[in-house]
Structure formats: C-alpha cells, structure tokens
Amino acid sequence: MGLFLSTTTNKIDKKGRISVPSAFRTVLSKDDFAGVILFQSYTLPAIEGVSMSTMDMMNNRVDQNFAFFSNDHDELATVLFGGAVPLVFDGDGRITLPQHFIDHAQLGDQASFVGMGHKFQIWNPELFKDRQKQSLESVKSQGVTLSRKDT
C-alpha cells in the first residue's frame, strides 16, 4: 500500500495553504480520492492524516467491534467521523488547514509532517522536537521492540 515515512517541515503561507510532501501525496494517490482525511488527535496537540481507504478500513473495524445502534458505536463514530475533514489538493498539491486544526496543533507559519506508517501526523515543529525526544526515551526505556519474524 505504501507507507508514510520520514519527517518534512513545510511553510504555511498567508492564505493558510501548505504543501503536502510529495512522497505523502504519492501514497495518498493510491486511491481515487485526490486528497487526504484529517482529524485532530484525541491526546496530542497534533493533527492526524490518513488516506480515504484507511478511513474505510477504520469504518469497517468500528462496525465489526460494535453493534450498529449501540451507544459505544455511536460515540466512537461521532468522534472518528464527525471530526474528520476531507481536504482536496489544489493543482500544486497544497491543502488549506481549517482554523480549528491550526488552533489545536498550535501551528505558526510552519508545520511538520511526520510519517507513521499507515497514517501521519502534523505538528508544530517546536512541539514535535520534544515529542520526538520523549518518544525515543520511552521506546528505549520500556524496551518496546519488535522481533524480526517473517510471516
């Protein structure tokens, strides 16, 4: 499917536009929707981004795990889909970030796109430095590792 990898920092211009890194666009263009789905992280001052097909996948999981009219289902669906915003690329691969995302992630005139495999996050570059450092410490100290095993 293609993975979101590496970290890229781009500028937000006066109009609130920002270029989605070319490599990320390539991953996103695998499905027919020419854009990206964004929603705010529930726990971090960051914006999460996924492809439309990943959104489909999450939708299926919600339906599998919860009865269709249960309260749990509706609560999760409300948060997950109610807060999700589809944004279409302009001709040059840019998107315009809605104001509440900019507020939530405390973005100034720059933003970092952080690849996380099947998804990515958008951060204030300064905040991300700390986040990165803290993640590394956490991964190292907790010994969260992956053993290599071919499937």
**Interface with its own copies (CB under 8 A), residue from 13, 30, 34, 72:** 72
CA 59 to chain centre: 16
Q: Which is nearer to its own copies, 14 or 24 (CB)?
A: 24
Beta bridge partners of 110: 11
Helix, strand, coil percent content, the chain, rounded in steps of 5: 40, 25, 35
Instruction: In whole angstroms, give the CA distance from residue 85 to residue 37.
Output: 6
6 binds, among DNA, its own copies, none (CB under 5 to 8 A by kind): its own copies
Q: Does residue 97 belong to the site contacting DNA (CB under 7 A)?
A: no
Instruction: In whole angstroms, give the CA distance from residue 115 to residue 68.
Output: 32
Q: Kindly write out the interface string for residues 10-49 of this chain, putting x where it contacts DNA by CB under 7 A and - elsewhere.
A: xx-xxxx-xxxxx--x------------------------
Closest CA to 122 of 112, 132, 110: 112
**Interface with its own copies (CB under 8 A), residue from 99, 109, 143, 146:** 146
Which residues of the shown chain bind DNA in the complex (CB under 7 A)?
A: 8, 10-11, 13-16, 18-22, 25, 88, 90-94, 96
